[in-house]
């Protein structure tokens, strides 16, 4: 089946933001891995003074190799091809459109969301972007012992038909990803949103297993091949660490077993795409307007 322009072989933009949309730092982890593998460099950035409240998203300070100290301010930037070739022994991203891939990374802004999204979408138009993949991650009733689900959706009917993804029927609070998707579709850039489910009872970030899940879905939709490096080993170590915690907590172990049974039932052949979509929307409603990475583990009542 022919893919919509921009999702296989076109100029693609991968988008991820820290904050509400980024449980387990999965979305930004996946985007950063792509940017590093592709040796991307900044091609456009917003003025942080216009969009960020530094009491909410504070600047950070770090030491440089020469011993100096440097402030780093919250912001958002589009990274594009640098033209720097990979080292001979370095694995790079390959596949249709790999040499034109762009990544948008940033912190969720505190104000002027419409202007923020419009500025970044204008920058995407200037870079001739033909399709946008928005990465998100949510805390969910997902067992860490099973493959972490990724829900794909699009408001664009051509994208849904070509990629076989759902149209979300979720109603409620949204993050900056939804605002950017709306702005992009209005100017004719098709979008698809990918949301990974991160076990809510594992509240320590990052979650390398969720990063792997998002990268796998990106590969599936775009035809790209993304080397994982040490990520798979990190995911196994992460899972083993949660196993160790559960072995010392009978209540947690019993709760995980319930989640495993529910997940196995959802993965059964008779489970419909509609049921899985409804499960995703229930996750979002349960989260309300809480940040993606907050909150300790606890068994929770049904929706």
- Please state, rounded to an integer, the average pLDDT across all residues of the chain: 86
**pLDDT exceeding 90 applies to what percent of the chain?**
62
pLDDT for residue 297: 43
**Total domain count, the chain:** 1
Q: Is the pLDDT of residue 224 over 80?
A: yes
Query: Are 241 and 27 spatial neighbours (Cβ–Cβ below 8 Å)?
Result: no
**In a domain? residue 4:** no
**In a domain? residue 245:** yes
pLDDT for residue 1: 38
pLDDT for residue 249: 87
**In a domain? residue 31:** yes
CATH number of the domain where residue 28 is located: 3.40.50.10900
The whole-number average pLDDT for the span 280-284 is 60
pLDDT for residue 295: 43
**In a domain? residue 249:** yes
Instruction: Say whether 233 sits in a helix, a strand or coil.
Output: helix
Q: Give pLDDT tens digits for 80-138.
A: 998 777 676 678 899 989 999 999 999 999 999 999 999 999 999 999 999 999 999 99
**In a domain? residue 65:** no
**In a domain? residue 7:** no
Confidence band, pLDDT 50/70/90 cuts, at residue 2 = very low
The whole-number average pLDDT for the span 13-36 is 95
CB count within 10 Å of CB 143 equals 22
Residue 230: domain span: 12-58+72-287
Q: Give pLDDT tens digits for 120-134.
A: 999 999 999 999 999
Q: Give pLDDT tens digits for 242-277.
A: 999 888 888 888 999 898 888 888 776 655 555 556
Q: Is the pLDDT of residue 299 over 50?
A: no
Q: Is the pLDDT of residue 49 over 60?
A: yes
Terminus-to-terminus CA distance in the chain, angstroms? Answer: 38
**In a domain? residue 294:** no
Quote the CA–CA distance of 83 and 71 in Å, as a whole number.
28
DSSP collapsed to 3 states, 173-206: CCCHHHHHHHHHHHCCCCEEEEEEEEECCCCCCC
Q: Which helix (H) or strand (E) holds 131?
A: strand 131-140
**In a domain? residue 296:** no
Q: Which of 266, 276, 13 shows the shortest CA–CA distance to 152?
A: 276
């Amino acid at each position: 089946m022919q893919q919509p322009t921009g999702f296989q072989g076109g100029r693609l933009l991968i988008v991820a933001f820290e904050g509400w949309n980024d449980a387990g730092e999965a979305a930004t982890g996946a985007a950063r891995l792509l940017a590093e593998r592709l040796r991307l460099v900044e091609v456009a950035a917003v003025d942080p003074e216009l969009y960020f409240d530094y009491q909410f998203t504070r600047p950070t300070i770090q030491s440089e190799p020469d011993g100096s100290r440097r402030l780093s301010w919250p912001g958002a930037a589009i990274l594009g091809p640098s033209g720097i070739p990979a080292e001979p022994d370095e694995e790079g991203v390959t596949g249709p459109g790999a040499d034109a891939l762009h990544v948008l990374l940033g912190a969720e802004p505190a104000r002027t969301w419409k202007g923020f999204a419009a500025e970044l979408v204008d920058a995407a138009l200037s870079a001739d972007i033909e399709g946008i993949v928005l990465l998100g991650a949510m805390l969910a009733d997902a067992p860490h012992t099973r493959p972490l689900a990724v829900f794909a959706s699009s408001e664009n009917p051509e994208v849904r038909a070509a990629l076989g993804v759902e149209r979300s029927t979720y109603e409620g609070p949204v993050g900056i990803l939804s605002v950017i998707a709306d702005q992009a579709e209005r100017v004719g850039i098709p979008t698809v949103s990918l949301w990974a489910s991160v076990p809510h009872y594992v509240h320590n970030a990052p979650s390398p297993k969720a990063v792997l899940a998002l990268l796998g879905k990106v590969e599936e939709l775009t035809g790209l091949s993304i080397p994982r490096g040490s990520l798979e080993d990190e995911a196994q170590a992460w899972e083993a660490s949660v196993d160790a915690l559960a072995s010392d907590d009978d209540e947690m172990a019993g709760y995980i077993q319930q989640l495993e049974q529910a997940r196995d039932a959802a993965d059964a052949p008779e489970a419909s795409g509609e049921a899985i979509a409804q499960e995703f929307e229930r996750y979002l409603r349960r989260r309300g307007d809480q940040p993606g990475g907050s909150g300790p583990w606890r068994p929770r009542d049904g929706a």
